[in-house]
Protein backbone atom coordinates (compact mmCIF):
# COMPACT_ATOMS: atom_id res chain seq x y z
CA UNK A 1 0.00 0.00 0.00
CA UNK A 2 1.48 3.29 -1.11
CA UNK A 3 0.97 6.32 1.12
CA UNK A 4 -0.44 9.25 -0.77
CA UNK A 5 1.75 12.34 -0.59
CA UNK A 6 -0.44 15.31 0.34
CA UNK A 7 -0.80 17.91 -2.42
CA UNK A 8 -0.39 21.60 -1.64
CA UNK A 9 -4.15 22.19 -1.59
CA UNK A 10 -4.74 19.15 0.64
CA UNK A 11 -2.05 20.32 3.04
CA UNK A 12 -3.59 23.81 3.11
CA UNK A 13 -7.07 22.32 3.74
CA UNK A 14 -5.69 20.25 6.63
CA UNK A 15 -4.00 23.31 8.08
CA UNK A 16 -7.29 25.22 7.83
CA UNK A 17 -9.05 22.31 9.55
CA UNK A 18 -6.51 22.37 12.39
CA UNK A 19 -6.85 26.15 12.60
CA UNK A 20 -10.64 25.84 12.83
CA UNK A 21 -10.32 23.40 15.75
CA UNK A 22 -7.83 25.65 17.53
CA UNK A 23 -10.08 28.68 17.09
CA UNK A 24 -13.01 26.73 18.56
CA UNK A 25 -10.87 25.64 21.50
CA UNK A 26 -9.72 29.22 21.98
CA UNK A 27 -13.14 30.88 21.89
CA UNK A 28 -14.91 28.32 24.08
CA UNK A 29 -12.44 28.44 26.96
CA UNK A 30 -13.07 31.83 28.63
CA UNK A 31 -16.85 31.41 28.61
CA UNK A 32 -16.57 27.81 29.79
CA UNK A 33 -14.40 28.77 32.75
CA UNK A 34 -16.78 31.59 33.67
CA UNK A 35 -19.72 29.20 33.32
CA UNK A 36 -17.99 26.50 35.40
CA UNK A 37 -17.20 28.98 38.17
CA UNK A 38 -20.78 30.26 38.56
CA UNK A 39 -21.40 27.84 41.40
CA UNK A 40 -18.96 26.76 44.08
CA UNK A 41 -15.44 26.22 42.74
CA UNK A 42 -14.95 22.51 42.12
CA UNK A 43 -11.41 22.82 40.87
CA UNK A 44 -9.34 22.38 37.75
CA UNK A 45 -11.12 19.27 36.47
CA UNK A 46 -14.53 20.94 36.59
CA UNK A 47 -13.29 23.87 34.52
CA UNK A 48 -11.34 21.62 32.16
CA UNK A 49 -14.25 19.23 31.53
CA UNK A 50 -16.62 22.16 30.99
CA UNK A 51 -14.20 23.56 28.41
CA UNK A 52 -13.79 20.20 26.66
CA UNK A 53 -17.54 19.55 26.61
CA UNK A 54 -18.11 23.01 25.09
CA UNK A 55 -15.57 22.20 22.38
CA UNK A 56 -17.25 18.83 21.80
CA UNK A 57 -20.54 20.66 21.35
CA UNK A 58 -19.02 22.73 18.55
CA UNK A 59 -17.09 19.84 16.98
CA UNK A 60 -19.83 19.37 14.39
CA UNK A 61 -18.50 22.52 12.69
CA UNK A 62 -15.06 21.03 11.88
CA UNK A 63 -16.71 17.70 11.05
CA UNK A 64 -18.97 19.51 8.55
CA UNK A 65 -15.87 21.22 7.13
CA UNK A 66 -14.25 17.82 6.59
CA UNK A 67 -17.35 16.49 4.89
CA UNK A 68 -17.54 19.53 2.60
CA UNK A 69 -13.84 19.23 1.73
CA UNK A 70 -13.87 15.42 1.39
CA UNK A 71 -12.70 15.62 -2.22
CA UNK A 72 -9.60 17.65 -1.37
CA UNK A 73 -8.77 16.04 2.00
CA UNK A 74 -8.15 12.33 2.47
CA UNK A 75 -11.51 10.74 3.35
CA UNK A 76 -9.87 8.72 6.13
CA UNK A 77 -9.63 11.91 8.19
CA UNK A 78 -13.43 12.06 8.67
CA UNK A 79 -13.86 8.80 10.65
CA UNK A 80 -10.59 9.41 12.50
CA UNK A 81 -11.79 12.85 13.63
CA UNK A 82 -15.24 11.50 14.54
CA UNK A 83 -13.63 8.72 16.59
CA UNK A 84 -11.31 11.23 18.27
CA UNK A 85 -14.26 13.44 19.27
CA UNK A 86 -16.25 10.44 20.57
CA UNK A 87 -13.28 9.20 22.62
CA UNK A 88 -12.70 12.69 23.98
CA UNK A 89 -16.43 12.97 24.78
CA UNK A 90 -16.48 9.64 26.60
CA UNK A 91 -13.36 10.51 28.61
CA UNK A 92 -14.86 13.89 29.57
CA UNK A 93 -18.15 12.19 30.49
CA UNK A 94 -16.34 9.61 32.62
CA UNK A 95 -14.29 12.25 34.46
CA UNK A 96 -17.44 14.27 35.15
CA UNK A 97 -19.20 11.21 36.54
CA UNK A 98 -16.36 10.67 38.99
CA UNK A 99 -16.18 14.38 39.79
CA UNK A 100 -19.88 14.76 40.62
CA UNK A 101 -20.36 11.44 42.39
CA UNK A 102 -20.82 13.07 45.78
CA UNK A 103 -23.02 15.91 44.54
CA UNK A 104 -25.84 14.30 42.57
CA UNK A 105 -29.03 12.62 43.75
CA UNK A 106 -28.65 8.92 44.57
CA UNK A 107 -30.88 7.76 41.69
CA UNK A 108 -29.66 10.25 39.08
CA UNK A 109 -27.08 9.04 36.59
CA UNK A 110 -26.98 11.00 33.33
CA UNK A 111 -26.44 8.87 30.25
CA UNK A 112 -23.76 9.44 27.66
CA UNK A 113 -26.42 10.67 25.21
CA UNK A 114 -27.63 13.19 27.78
CA UNK A 115 -24.04 14.34 28.18
CA UNK A 116 -23.68 14.79 24.40
CA UNK A 117 -26.86 16.89 24.36
CA UNK A 118 -25.56 19.05 27.20
CA UNK A 119 -22.34 19.58 25.23
CA UNK A 120 -24.36 21.60 22.72
CA UNK A 121 -25.92 23.61 25.54
CA UNK A 122 -22.52 24.21 27.13
CA UNK A 123 -21.09 25.34 23.80
CA UNK A 124 -23.97 27.78 23.37
CA UNK A 125 -23.52 29.08 26.93
CA UNK A 126 -19.75 29.43 26.55
CA UNK A 127 -20.25 31.55 23.43
CA UNK A 128 -23.02 33.54 25.08
CA UNK A 129 -20.82 34.28 28.11
CA UNK A 130 -17.69 34.94 25.99
CA UNK A 131 -18.06 38.75 25.90
CA UNK A 132 -18.44 38.88 29.68
CA UNK A 133 -15.45 36.59 30.17
CA UNK A 134 -13.28 38.62 27.79
CA UNK A 135 -14.09 41.91 29.49
CA UNK A 136 -13.18 40.33 32.84
CA UNK A 137 -10.10 38.28 31.91
CA UNK A 138 -8.52 38.92 35.29
CA UNK A 139 -11.48 37.41 37.12
CA UNK A 140 -11.77 34.61 34.56
CA UNK A 141 -8.20 33.36 34.94
CA UNK A 142 -6.96 34.79 38.24
CA UNK A 143 -9.89 34.26 40.63
CA UNK A 144 -8.78 30.69 41.35
CA UNK A 145 -5.22 29.36 41.20
CA UNK A 146 -6.31 26.30 39.22
CA UNK A 147 -7.48 28.47 36.31
CA UNK A 148 -4.02 29.91 35.65
CA UNK A 149 -2.80 26.79 33.73
CA UNK A 150 -5.95 26.97 31.60
CA UNK A 151 -5.23 30.61 30.83
CA UNK A 152 -1.66 29.72 29.87
CA UNK A 153 -2.97 26.91 27.66
CA UNK A 154 -5.28 29.38 25.93
CA UNK A 155 -2.36 31.77 25.43
CA UNK A 156 -0.34 28.96 23.79
CA UNK A 157 -3.35 28.12 21.59
CA UNK A 158 -3.54 31.78 20.57
CA UNK A 159 0.15 31.82 19.62
CA UNK A 160 -0.32 28.66 17.54
CA UNK A 161 -3.38 30.21 15.86
CA UNK A 162 -1.36 33.33 14.96
CA UNK A 163 1.56 31.24 13.66
CA UNK A 164 -0.68 28.93 11.63
CA UNK A 165 -2.67 31.86 10.23
CA UNK A 166 0.53 33.59 9.17
CA UNK A 167 1.77 30.37 7.56
CA UNK A 168 -1.51 29.97 5.66
CA UNK A 169 -1.38 33.62 4.56
CA UNK A 170 2.17 33.23 3.24
CA UNK A 171 1.22 30.00 1.42
CA UNK A 172 -1.79 31.61 -0.17
CA UNK A 173 0.25 34.65 -1.19
CA UNK A 174 2.97 32.48 -2.76
CA UNK A 175 0.37 30.36 -4.58
CA UNK A 176 -1.16 33.53 -6.05
CA UNK A 177 2.31 34.71 -7.04
CA UNK A 178 3.03 31.38 -8.77
CA UNK A 179 -0.29 31.55 -10.65
CA UNK A 180 0.47 35.11 -11.79
CA UNK A 181 3.94 34.08 -12.99
CA UNK A 182 2.66 30.99 -14.82
CA UNK A 183 -0.18 33.03 -16.39
CA UNK A 184 2.30 35.64 -17.70
CA UNK A 185 4.46 33.13 -19.56
- pLDDT tens for the chain, 185 residues: list them: 445 555 667 888 899 999 999 999 999 999 999 999 887 667 899 999 999 999 999 999 999 999 999 888 888 999 999 999 999 999 999 998 888 776 666 677 788 999 999 999 999 999 999 999 999 988 889 889 999 999 999 999 999 999 999 999 988 887 776 665 555 55
Cβ atoms 44, 95 nearer than 8 A = no
Residue 3: what pLDDT? 55
Residues written for the chain: 185
Distance CA 150, CA 32 (A): 11
The structural domains of the chain, with segments of one domain joined by +, span 8-177
Q: Please state whether the predicted TM-score (pTM) of the whole model is above 0.75.
A: yes
Cα–Cα nearest to 55, from 31, 80, 83: 31
pLDDT at 6: 54
Instruction: Specify the pLDDT at position 47.
Output: 93
Amino acid sequence: MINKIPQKSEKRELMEFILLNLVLLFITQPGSITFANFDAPYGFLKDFTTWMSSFIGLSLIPLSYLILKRNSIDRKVIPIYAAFILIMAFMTYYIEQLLFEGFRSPNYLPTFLTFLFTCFLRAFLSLLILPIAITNLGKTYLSYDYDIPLGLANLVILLIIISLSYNLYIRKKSEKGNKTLSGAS
